[in-house]
Amino acid sequence: MKTELDKCLAGEYYNCHDEIFLIYKNKTRALLTKYNNLSYDQKTEKREVLKSLFGSIGTNVSVGSPFICDYGCNTYLGNNVSVNMNCTFVDCNKITIGNNVLIASNVQIYTATHPVELDERLTPDWNPESGAYFCRTYALPVTIGDGCWIGGGVIILPGVKIGAGSVIGAGSVVTKDIPKNCVAVGNPCRVVRRINGDYKHD
Protein backbone atom coordinates (compact mmCIF):
# COMPACT_ATOMS: atom_id res chain seq x y z
CA MET A 1 0.00 0.00 0.00
CA LYS A 2 1.36 3.41 -0.98
CA THR A 3 2.23 5.90 1.73
CA GLU A 4 1.23 9.54 1.36
CA LEU A 5 4.87 10.28 0.50
CA ASP A 6 4.80 7.62 -2.24
CA LYS A 7 1.64 9.19 -3.66
CA CYS A 8 3.18 12.65 -3.56
CA LEU A 9 6.32 11.66 -5.46
CA ALA A 10 4.21 9.68 -7.97
CA GLY A 11 2.21 12.79 -8.88
CA GLU A 12 -0.99 11.42 -7.32
CA TYR A 13 -3.40 13.07 -4.91
CA TYR A 14 -1.91 12.98 -1.42
CA ASN A 15 -2.68 14.28 2.06
CA CYS A 16 -0.30 17.19 2.52
CA HIS A 17 -1.14 17.22 6.25
CA ASP A 18 0.19 13.69 6.77
CA GLU A 19 2.68 13.38 9.62
CA ILE A 20 5.70 12.87 7.36
CA PHE A 21 5.16 16.24 5.69
CA LEU A 22 4.75 17.99 9.03
CA ILE A 23 8.07 16.46 10.12
CA TYR A 24 9.70 17.72 6.92
CA LYS A 25 8.26 21.20 7.37
CA ASN A 26 9.34 21.51 11.00
CA LYS A 27 12.89 20.40 10.21
CA THR A 28 13.07 22.68 7.19
CA ARG A 29 11.75 25.74 9.04
CA ALA A 30 14.42 25.30 11.72
CA LEU A 31 17.18 24.99 9.12
CA LEU A 32 15.90 27.99 7.16
CA THR A 33 15.72 30.13 10.28
CA LYS A 34 19.33 29.26 11.02
CA TYR A 35 20.44 29.79 7.41
CA ASN A 36 18.69 33.10 6.86
CA ASN A 37 20.23 34.49 10.06
CA LEU A 38 23.81 33.70 9.08
CA SER A 39 25.90 36.60 7.84
CA TYR A 40 27.06 36.84 4.24
CA ASP A 41 30.64 35.81 5.04
CA GLN A 42 29.74 32.71 7.11
CA LYS A 43 30.21 30.53 4.05
CA THR A 44 31.35 27.38 5.84
CA GLU A 45 28.37 27.45 8.19
CA LYS A 46 26.01 28.15 5.29
CA ARG A 47 27.38 25.19 3.34
CA GLU A 48 26.78 22.87 6.28
CA VAL A 49 23.17 24.01 6.64
CA LEU A 50 22.52 23.58 2.90
CA LYS A 51 23.96 20.05 3.05
CA SER A 52 21.44 19.24 5.78
CA LEU A 53 18.62 21.00 3.95
CA PHE A 54 18.82 19.75 0.37
CA GLY A 55 18.50 16.27 -1.11
CA SER A 56 21.93 16.79 -2.68
CA ILE A 57 24.23 19.72 -3.37
CA GLY A 58 27.21 19.99 -5.68
CA THR A 59 30.38 22.03 -5.42
CA ASN A 60 30.55 25.81 -5.68
CA VAL A 61 26.89 26.44 -4.82
CA SER A 62 25.60 29.72 -3.39
CA VAL A 63 22.09 30.44 -2.17
CA GLY A 64 21.28 34.05 -1.32
CA SER A 65 19.21 34.90 1.71
CA PRO A 66 16.43 35.14 2.45
CA PHE A 67 15.60 31.78 0.93
CA ILE A 68 12.38 29.81 1.40
CA CYS A 69 11.57 26.20 0.56
CA ASP A 70 8.92 23.71 1.61
CA TYR A 71 10.67 20.39 2.34
CA GLY A 72 14.24 21.03 1.19
CA CYS A 73 14.98 17.32 0.88
CA ASN A 74 13.32 17.23 -2.55
CA THR A 75 15.68 19.84 -4.02
CA TYR A 76 18.78 18.62 -5.86
CA LEU A 77 21.47 21.08 -6.97
CA GLY A 78 24.39 20.40 -9.32
CA ASN A 79 27.81 22.04 -9.43
CA ASN A 80 28.36 25.76 -10.02
CA VAL A 81 24.85 26.89 -9.12
CA SER A 82 23.97 30.42 -8.05
CA VAL A 83 20.55 31.04 -6.48
CA ASN A 84 20.13 34.74 -5.76
CA MET A 85 18.20 36.28 -2.88
CA ASN A 86 14.49 35.99 -2.12
CA CYS A 87 13.81 32.79 -4.06
CA THR A 88 11.05 30.34 -3.15
CA PHE A 89 11.16 26.61 -3.94
CA VAL A 90 7.92 24.73 -3.19
CA ASP A 91 9.58 21.33 -3.43
CA CYS A 92 6.78 18.92 -2.54
CA ASN A 93 8.01 16.87 -5.50
CA LYS A 94 11.55 16.92 -6.87
CA ILE A 95 13.23 20.11 -8.06
CA THR A 96 16.35 19.13 -10.00
CA ILE A 97 18.79 21.87 -11.01
CA GLY A 98 21.75 20.97 -13.20
CA ASN A 99 25.32 22.24 -13.39
CA ASN A 100 26.37 25.80 -14.27
CA VAL A 101 22.95 27.30 -13.58
CA LEU A 102 22.11 30.90 -12.69
CA ILE A 103 18.87 31.62 -10.86
CA ALA A 104 18.20 35.33 -10.35
CA SER A 105 16.41 37.05 -7.47
CA ASN A 106 12.73 36.46 -6.70
CA VAL A 107 12.43 33.27 -8.74
CA GLN A 108 9.58 30.99 -7.65
CA ILE A 109 9.53 27.27 -8.45
CA TYR A 110 6.33 25.38 -7.67
CA THR A 111 5.75 21.62 -7.73
CA ALA A 112 2.46 21.48 -5.78
CA THR A 113 -0.85 22.13 -7.50
CA HIS A 114 -4.60 21.42 -7.38
CA PRO A 115 -7.31 20.41 -9.90
CA VAL A 116 -8.90 23.31 -11.78
CA GLU A 117 -12.51 22.13 -11.55
CA LEU A 118 -14.01 22.90 -8.14
CA ASP A 119 -15.77 19.55 -7.77
CA GLU A 120 -12.46 17.80 -8.40
CA ARG A 121 -10.48 20.21 -6.24
CA LEU A 122 -12.51 19.74 -3.06
CA THR A 123 -11.68 16.64 -1.00
CA PRO A 124 -14.71 14.29 -1.06
CA ASP A 125 -16.50 13.90 2.29
CA TRP A 126 -14.01 16.21 3.97
CA ASN A 127 -14.47 17.14 7.60
CA PRO A 128 -12.24 19.24 9.89
CA GLU A 129 -11.52 16.28 12.19
CA SER A 130 -10.06 14.09 9.45
CA GLY A 131 -6.60 15.66 9.45
CA ALA A 132 -6.73 15.90 5.65
CA TYR A 133 -6.59 19.12 3.65
CA PHE A 134 -9.94 20.41 2.35
CA CYS A 135 -8.58 20.53 -1.20
CA ARG A 136 -6.99 17.76 -3.23
CA THR A 137 -3.30 18.31 -3.81
CA TYR A 138 -0.79 16.70 -6.13
CA ALA A 139 2.78 17.58 -7.08
CA LEU A 140 4.83 17.28 -10.26
CA PRO A 141 8.63 17.51 -10.56
CA VAL A 142 10.48 20.46 -12.08
CA THR A 143 13.78 20.08 -13.93
CA ILE A 144 16.19 22.85 -14.94
CA GLY A 145 18.91 21.61 -17.26
CA ASP A 146 22.63 22.32 -17.26
CA GLY A 147 23.74 25.80 -18.27
CA CYS A 148 20.37 27.53 -17.85
CA TRP A 149 19.87 31.12 -16.76
CA ILE A 150 16.55 31.87 -15.07
CA GLY A 151 15.87 35.62 -15.00
CA GLY A 152 14.58 37.71 -12.12
CA GLY A 153 11.03 37.16 -10.96
CA VAL A 154 10.44 34.07 -13.12
CA ILE A 155 7.69 31.68 -11.99
CA ILE A 156 8.08 28.01 -12.95
CA LEU A 157 4.95 25.89 -12.64
CA PRO A 158 4.63 22.18 -11.72
CA GLY A 159 5.83 19.56 -14.17
CA VAL A 160 7.98 21.91 -16.27
CA LYS A 161 11.30 20.86 -17.81
CA ILE A 162 13.70 23.52 -19.09
CA GLY A 163 16.27 22.22 -21.53
CA ALA A 164 20.03 22.65 -21.18
CA GLY A 165 21.48 26.02 -22.13
CA SER A 166 18.18 27.88 -22.24
CA VAL A 167 17.53 31.39 -20.91
CA ILE A 168 14.20 32.40 -19.38
CA GLY A 169 13.54 36.14 -19.53
CA ALA A 170 12.79 38.13 -16.38
CA GLY A 171 9.18 38.08 -15.22
CA SER A 172 8.18 35.07 -17.32
CA VAL A 173 5.65 32.48 -16.19
CA VAL A 174 6.79 29.07 -17.44
CA THR A 175 3.73 26.85 -17.87
CA LYS A 176 5.11 24.28 -20.34
CA ASP A 177 8.42 22.61 -21.21
CA ILE A 178 11.08 24.75 -22.87
CA PRO A 179 13.50 23.03 -25.28
CA LYS A 180 17.26 23.31 -24.94
CA ASN A 181 19.31 26.24 -26.24
CA CYS A 182 16.45 28.73 -26.49
CA VAL A 183 15.57 32.18 -25.24
CA ALA A 184 12.01 32.10 -23.91
CA VAL A 185 10.01 34.97 -22.42
CA GLY A 186 6.52 36.08 -21.49
CA ASN A 187 3.35 34.98 -19.73
CA PRO A 188 2.83 32.28 -20.76
CA CYS A 189 6.52 31.78 -21.56
CA ARG A 190 7.25 31.14 -25.24
CA VAL A 191 10.41 30.56 -27.25
CA VAL A 192 11.46 33.72 -29.10
CA ARG A 193 14.71 32.54 -30.63
CA ARG A 194 17.30 29.80 -30.72
CA ILE A 195 20.72 30.20 -29.16
CA ASN A 196 23.58 29.51 -31.57
CA GLY A 197 25.49 26.31 -30.94
CA ASP A 198 24.69 23.57 -28.48
CA TYR A 199 25.27 23.24 -24.76
CA LYS A 200 28.26 20.89 -24.44
CA HIS A 201 29.72 21.55 -21.00
CA ASP A 202 29.73 18.94 -18.24
DSSP letter for each residue of 12-40: S-B-TTSHHHHHHHHHHHHHHHHHHTS-T
Binned at pLDDT 50, 70 and 90, residue 201 comes out as low
* Structural domains for the chain: 4-194 (2.160.10.10)
Is residue 114 annotated as a catalytic residue, yes or no? yes
pLDDT at 200 over 70: no
Three-class SS state of 130: coil
74-127 pLDDT tens trace: 999 999 999 999 999 999 999 999 999 999 999 999 999 999 999 999 988 888
| Strands ordered across the beta sheet of 149-150 | 61-63, 81-83, 101-103, 149-150, 167-168, 182-185, 190-194
Mean pLDDT of the chain: 95
Three-class SS state of 63: strand
pLDDT (mean) for 120-140:
89
The single-letter DSSP state of residue 135 is B
- Between 97 and 196, the more confident residue is 97
Q: Does residue 188 contact residue 168 with C-beta atoms inside 8 Å?
A: no
pLDDT (mean) for 132-146:
95
Q: Note the pTM of the prediction, 2 decimals.
A: 0.95
| Strands ordered across the beta sheet of 67-69 | 67-69, 87-90, 108-110, 155-156, 173-174
Output the CA torsion sign for 179, 180, 186, 189. positive
Q: Does residue 81 contact residue 61 with C-beta atoms inside 8 Å?
A: yes
Q: Which of 17, 29, 34, 114 is catalytic?
A: 114
